[in-house]
Amino acid sequence: MYSSIDDFMKMVHSKSPGEVEFHQAVHEVTSSLWGLLQEQPHYIHAGVLERLIEPERVIIFRVPWRNDRGDVEVNRGYRVEFSSAIGPYKGGLRFHPSVNLSILKFLGFEQVFKNSLTTLPMGGGKGGSDFDPKGKSENEVMSFCQSFMTELCRHIGPDTDVPAGDIGVGGREIGYLFGQYKRIRNEFTGVLTGKGLNWGGSLIRPEATGYGCVYFVQAMLENADNGLGGKIVAVSGSGNVAQYATKKASELGAKVVTLSDSSGSIHDPDGIDADKLAWVMDLKNNRRGRIEEYAGEFGCEYLEGHRPWKIKCEVALP
């Protein structure tokens, strides 16, 4: 039995050295549970904590693909299948240069709890690659996705592991991944969520996360006899979640004044109305442009290399 949280964390550090993000997530969860564990020591004796922090399976694989110059590039792919205690692994795929095992273990670990709280029979997992889709052509993104799925397809399935999108993996990437899965497995199964409506996707799914974020904020404010109406809102990001959070916040009477991407942020004190948001959605979802272009189009401030948190606001949506 571990005598303290620090004692337990020493074991975590020794088994997973250098995984800073994962260590932080484990420490936060353990700290919140420690009082209960002292009252119910049979959980400790049964090794529940040790089982919670150890993924059931970690898959790391090579992803070779060919760029438009004809050169072969190689990235690293991951799938952390963390827990299937109550159902198939479920969690997103992230394509971003920062992706490493520590980040995916941290995300997969938290996904276990998030999915269980839905009361649906879903386990938790996370995956992705250090591939960066930004600046890549359609052909290069397709080439990478097909190579990635050629390996991943043997580890997933509707009753085993059901990936979804995440940062760098939107409807386009999910479409390429699903097409390759279907080609190799010779079956049309719902093994990926986030598909387009034309090949088995769900209505309202693109809006769900952004809307949910704003509904949650609105419920908190209403509990304090307040609301979003008239509030100045700062939104971080400009992808799917940020777009629909901006849309719903505006519909509820707020004024959204910021958006951002990895290059910087825009500050539009006049507010991002429906027409401006439609322009952003075309920029990001179709033209794959940078948010800096918004500043040039609408004559507002662009904060290169900065996140939007220096902008004065009443509600911040990270």
Tokens of 23: 């260590």
**Which contacts qualify for 214-218: CB closer than 8 Å, 24 or more apart?**
214/245, 214/248, 214/249, 214/252, 214/317, 215/248, 217/315, 217/317, 218/252
Whether residue 211 has pLDDT greater than 90? yes
Active-site amino acid positions: 126
Q: Identify the pLDDT of residue 200.
A: 85
For the entire predicted model, the pTM comes to: 0.86
Distance CA 203, CA 150 (A): 28
Whether residue 102 has pLDDT greater than 90? yes
CATH domain 57-203 topology: Rossmann fold (3.40.50)
Q: Identify the pLDDT of residue 54.
A: 97
**Which contacts qualify for 273-279: CB closer than 8 Å, 24 or more apart?**
274/247, 274/250, 277/243, 277/246, 277/247, 277/250
DSSP string, 213-252: HHHHHHHHHHHTT--STT-EEEE---SHHHHHHHHHHHHT
Whether residue 107 has pLDDT greater than 90? yes
Give the CATH number of domain 206-317; options: 3.10.620.30, 3.40.50.720, 3.10.180.10, 3.30.70.1350. Answer: 3.40.50.720
- Average pLDDT on 234-238 reads 97
- Average pLDDT on 197-222 reads 91
In the chain, CATH 3.40.50.720 covers 206-317
In the chain, CATH 3.40.50.10860 covers 57-203
Q: Identify the pLDDT of residue 201.
A: 87
| Element (DSSP H or E) covering residue 82 | strand 72-83
- pLDDT tens track for 12-61: 999 999 999 999 999 999 999 999 999 999 998 899 999 999 999 999 99
